[in-house]
Chains A and B, each alone.
Chain A
Amino acid sequence: MADLAQTETKTLKEPAHHERLITGEPSFEHVTDSVSSIVESKTPKAWWVLFGISSSATLLLLVAIAYLFWEGIGIWGLNVPVAWGLAIVNLVFWIGIGHAGTLISAVLFLLRQRWRTSINRFAEAMTIFAVICALIFPAIHVGRIWVVYYVFPIPNQMGVWPNFRSPLLWDVFAFGTYFTVSLLFWYVGLIPDLATLRERATNRIKKIVYGVLSLGWYGGNKQWKHYEMAYLILAAIATPLVLSVHSIVSMDFAVSLLPGWHTTIFPPYFVAGAIFSGFAMVMTLAILARATFGLKDIFNMRVLERMNLIMLVTGSMVGYAYAMEFFIAWYSGNEYEMFAFVNRAFGPYAWAYWIMISCNVIVPQFFWSKKLRTNIAFMFIASILINIGMWFERFVIVVTLSRDYLPSAWGYYTPTFWDIAILIGSFGLFFSLFLLFLRFLPMVAMSEVKGVLPQADPHYAGNKQTYSQAVR
């Protein structure tokens, strides 16, 4: 780490000319106060309203799942030919949302994009909650939930092991690893900030809870040294992991032999789409949090604009992938492959296809305009549209099943009330968990934000005193 740190100080411009990553030049104490006070102050009314709505939706999820276990997956709109419905659509959607968090925390860390410090905690929390929502679907869709342990490497009653050549088993390992690594990454990042909350705690219960969670951290450099190494290693291994998880998800489709699914473009195309949708979700949440909690210095325009640029890049990659799929279908000369794509664009699900194209290909192109990508209202609407579009992308892929080789077997898949209830319920769970996070944990990585302030640099030339020096 020391080597990296030295290279960084050497290669960067003079520290005095550092770009201001956090606007308004706050003192260290201001950062601590503005972030911690959100957790410490009285619960705002708006929080209760939002939590009431989202926890009601969570309740709907629980009811829908209970009914599903009672009655079986017949309550969903699944049937042949569309035997995979909203369960897999939602799974891929939520896992994809999670990818932005890992990208921000790991990939941007390795690339030394220090503007990430404002949003990484927030985005990592989003990752964990999105992965929790995602993991519900493969668990409940099995139908016979009491034998769900078949997906784990445990021999069944006849001594048979699961098939390790199956992408569905790869999913189990990929998701399990992804969830664990994200959780560990998030927790390691939280330790110094939990120590801050411990030191500021006013009552005994908080002091004990934050004290235990922060493990007795005292910010010594002998601790920081190993801490930074652990963080670097986690970032280094989470980077290939984030690329692999959605690649493995895409193989659920690509490893099959169906026209429209059996394509080699799927892994990179899924990864780009995942990052695209994830950034859109971070944007939606960041704008809401910024408006509600007044963290305009930290979630500043420079950070938001860069996120929009990432959406522009990944959105264009997704658009390119859509075009390339069509081109390859034509170029292959395979009439089934060609039919699958023409059917997507002009068949019975054309409405879904064109929602997908408008939201995912056209909307991000507006970010070429500096005026639009720095407009809060526009980026908020765009981020929501992109999330809708990315949900429909997975829907379009799955309903390709509705028309296969045999016209007499064609069908039209319509989700039932219970399909929709579980989708809405998963949003409820996601927002409930996110609101709890905002209430009880620091939503901005304070120690990292302080580390990018100009006065944090030991070679800082300015004479600005920190607040505590001024009052001393």
Chain B
Amino acid sequence: MDLSMRWLADYVDCKCDVKKFCDEMTLSGSKVECAAKEGDYLSNVVVGHVVDIVPHPNSDHMFICQIDVGEGEPVQIVTGAQNVKKGDYVPAAKHKSTVLHEGKQVKITKGKLRGEASNGMLCSLEELGLTLHDFPYAIEDGIFILGDDCEKVPGMDIREAIGFNDDIVEFEITSNRPDCLSVTGLAREAAATFNVPVNIKEPTFKGIDGDINEIMKVEIHNPALCSRYMGGYVKNVKIGPSPRWMRERLRASGVRPINNFVDITNYVMLEYGQPMHAFDLRYVDGAEINIRNAKAGEKITTLDGVERELSEEMLVIADKNKPIAVAGVMGGEFSGIMEDTTAVVFESAMFDGASVRTTAKKLGMRTDASARYEKGLDPENCYYSLMRAFELVEELGCGEVVRTYIDCDKSDKVRKGVEFDPDWINGFLGTDIPAAQQEEYLTRLGFEIKDNKAYAPYYRIDIECGSDLAEEVARLYGYNNIPNTIVRGVANAKLTRKQKFDRTVTAAMLGMGINEITTFSFISPKYFDKIRLPEDSKLRNTVVISNPLGEDTSVMRTSIIPSVMEVLARNYSYRNADCYAFELGSEYIPVEGSVLPEEPERLGVGIYDTAGKIDFYTIKGIVEELLDKCGASGVEYSRPDENTVFGEVSAFHPGRVAVASIEGREIAIFGELHPETLENYGIGCRAYAAKVNIPELMELCAEQKTYTPLPKFPATTRDLSLICDDELPAAVIEKTIRKAAGATLESVTLFDIYKGEQIAQGKKSISYALSLRSHDGTLNDEQADKIMQKVIKALSEAGAELRG
């Protein structure tokens, strides 16, 4: 809401400058966004009186003017405009002045034009930042010749002379205070804030005789959506521009002046907050006005020239045959005010906010009127607004108002009081404001206190309960005067197991040198193709956003892998030498028969390093270390089979991907990314990824770690070099060793793997170091040998022979 300070001054005198006004209003609840002075880009532009004008000797279209700028001697200014005459008063930009040129501030200095000195420039409206709407008598391509509504004083600052010097304060009005979307509403707030009187008089008009009921008929067919409809009639209308004071106030409020009747409706809306509508009675068939729901298939061409199809839940203003306005949103084109209009009907009505909101939204046309209605207005205001419109018609002398008017009032007139309990308010706010002081605040805001009840003024539709009163008291007392105290009582806060587990995971990943990332939860469905998901993959069944910003963010991710891939790809395209990234985030999995999807937490990891220091075993090592840190035991690694829970398996290199399982449940997938995946993302080096199912992992991990006593006896170490088929997985060999060696085996470590010379084709040599240790005593050679024989025998059965 843009407030003209000049307009405000009609109602209240805050006795302070604009800065102070803004600060205080903000602190009492009307937030000021910014304050600006009109025409602040103009400087050193004054009223000039053209005392002489002669054609330029060296030009067939320029003139040399002698301009009186109030400095004794006139100054010479050359102009190319054709509309300047001797005796005119014009805006004169003097030497070292600023004006607007094509919307930008430019500097004007003296110079020579075809050999003749020119000490400035005569200005058009555009150069002042104005339009023909502001001064309808000016011409488009020419100097602005000041009319009789301007002060013709040579040397006077042009802004003052033409009334382009208002202060405009922009407010952010919250949705509970539609009454503040008006000059009078803000005047009341200002008066309460500064504790000064507000001077809002009830509008009056003289009118002429006539029976409105003989002129027009009004019927409300749906009182639930229209609680009051007032209509008035003005005849012998003279359509023309409105006076300067009205135009400049509209302009300051950001509304374009059109003609006197349209301007009056806008003026009343800005002043009283009540949307008004004016239409030409000639185009109202049967002179009857029906407030009814639209019929299926009905259409209307609105004022903006667009034909719109209406639906049955929309409320319209209709004549005998057709809709002439969409209630509370916009009028129809054909019944609008025109040059030749002679009789005008003013509408001042109360429509249901939710209905207006739905209609405006559905038609895609939010207007100043609909924005006000949808927040909720008060039916009482219809009356004052109509009276004000009548008063303005008479003030402007642009028509004759018929004294009687129509008032279909179905509104509820009962005023509901709210219990006023000063002690409760103090207890709620934590303050100690005397009851009399509280009462004074409320009275200042227009409340009436009677029998321990507070009655809000009609325009305050937001007051419903005790806490509403507390806010009124608090904001005039000053929020910043309320003390700061600490919540009493003891509370015992602790992290949940999940929260602790998340912190463990994050710490482990950071400790391994991997950076944490934050990605969007929504992705493009195309990303599923990029990670090579089969057409029938269950991961393609997503939570779909019905109104996305674009395809890229249109479905909730069912896998964290595409998000990680995007980050790898972006870093690669930025030519970053390496990228080590992880995210702990959710996936969103639709659940059949459930309103809401599941949101399981996942760890996504992606790495590449163009220095080439990493391979499959790097990502595996990260997963192993993480699982260990999380307290997992009995983790088994295997190639994923067709029943893997990880649909993303297709994203990986088929020979270099593994899943980790605990107690037979798959909890992680990791490996090298498929060359096609990398190509789809434009990544030109090998890259690796992992995904860990966090809740499943947590469930399988011991919550508490327990200490194992340190060994008392020395260990015996034995090395084993084996030959076996290349295909025999190391995990099988290791498992065999563990099983055969039993409890005495402390550790088994792979230390060499070799293929090539001296090893037959299709075979590999693989070497382990075994550490054997007993808790009962030092193992002797005989005992150790016995264990090793068992191990060798078992290995032989598994297909791995001792290397000769």
Are these two chains actual partners, yes or no? no
